[in-house]
Amino acid sequence: MTSPIVFCDFDGTITLADVTDEILNRLSRPAWQEIEQLWMGGEIGSRQCLERQLALVETSASELNTLIDSIPLDPDFLQFVQFVHHSAIPFLVISDGLDLVIRRVLARAGLHRWGRNGIHFYSSAARLVKGRLAISFPHAAKDCVHGCATCKPALIRRLKGEHWPVIYVGDGLSDRYGVREADFVYARRPLLDFCREHDIPSRPFTTFADVERALAKWQGGEAAAEMAEATRSRVTPALAEHSL
Ligand SMILES: [Mg+2]
Ligand SMILES: [Zn+2]
């Protein structure tokens, strides 16, 4: 009998576009792209990256809300949330993104009461003050060595409890530290390529319906052989790191 727990990225995973990137694309001065390059190259962490980028944004509440409301959602996400709820599978969203964005997107999906920052989702926090985004990082970890805005590996270690397997769903570079704490990853590109390069057990997914089908198999006790094998035989690189 297994008792899975699911950790899930937000931008580009639950939404089909990265909302922070869209905010920067449409509402920021172009210098944000130079800062993005530093982050992609690993020269700065996501916390410093977000702080510096969001300082370039000037907007109004109505402009920001219109943008957020234009972002498409994974078509099967709502059904997936109902599935994990009925199956009593813990499902936690961990995101470098902004709580005001996540709240609004979830509310639009009909999940008004489902989460707030620190309950069901863990993210950076932002308020719009006189046209500027005031940002803070309630889930940056003290012992984080990556400079994370939201330290995904620290949250997974803190929240996973006795659950097995630890499933991770994500799409991108912001998941590169989090996936090392997972037993199995459902990934869109470019995260899928990262997992394959680093021998992290993973499968591609197109929509949340694919993840739901796989979890239903776990629940039914007939985990796909390749997954069971992959998670059992794996020496977690992250564990090796932490034992130093
Ligand atoms: Mg993402
Ligand atoms: Zn970190």
Question: How far, in Å, from the CA of 241 to the mean position of ligand 1?
Answer: 24
Question: How far, in Å, from the CA of 90 to the mean position of ligand 2?
Answer: 22
**Segments of the chain scoring below 50 in pLDDT:** 235-244
- What pLDDT was estimated at residue 240? 33
Question: How far, in Å, from the CA of 47 to the mean position of ligand 1?
Answer: 15
- What pLDDT was estimated at residue 230? 59
Question: How far, in Å, from the CA of 175 to the mean position of ligand 1?
Answer: 7
Ligand nearest to the CA of 19: 1
Ligand nearest to the CA of 156: 2
Question: How far, in Å, from the CA of 182 to the mean position of ligand 2?
Answer: 15
224: part of which helix (H) or strand (E)? Answer: none
- What pLDDT was estimated at residue 114? 80
- What pLDDT was estimated at residue 239? 35
Ligand nearest to the CA of 45: 2
What percentage of the chain has pLDDT greater than the value 70? 89
102 in Cβ contact with 10 (< 8 Å): yes
- What pLDDT was estimated at residue 225? 53
Ligand nearest to the CA of 178: 2
Ligand nearest to the CA of 173: 1
Question: How far, in Å, from the CA of 142 to the mean position of ligand 2?
Answer: 9
CA dihedral 28, 135, 117, 207 (to 10 degrees): 20
Query: CA–CA separation, 223 vs 183, rounded Å?
Result: 13
51 in Cβ contact with 148 (< 8 Å): no
- What pLDDT was estimated at residue 243? 30
- What pLDDT was estimated at residue 119? 87
- If DSSP codes are grouped into helix, strand and coil, which group holds residue 133? strand
- Domain map (residue ranges) of the chain: 5-242
Question: How far, in Å, from the CA of 213 to the mean position of ligand 1?
Answer: 22
pTM beyond cutoff 0.95: no
Query: CA–CA separation, 15 vs 105, rounded Å?
Result: 8
Ligand nearest to the CA of 143: 2
Question: How far, in Å, from the CA of 188 to the mean position of ligand 1?
Answer: 9
Q: What is the CATH number of domain 5-242?
A: 3.40.50.1000
- What pLDDT was estimated at residue 241? 36
Ligand nearest to the CA of 18: 1
Ligand nearest to the CA of 150: 2
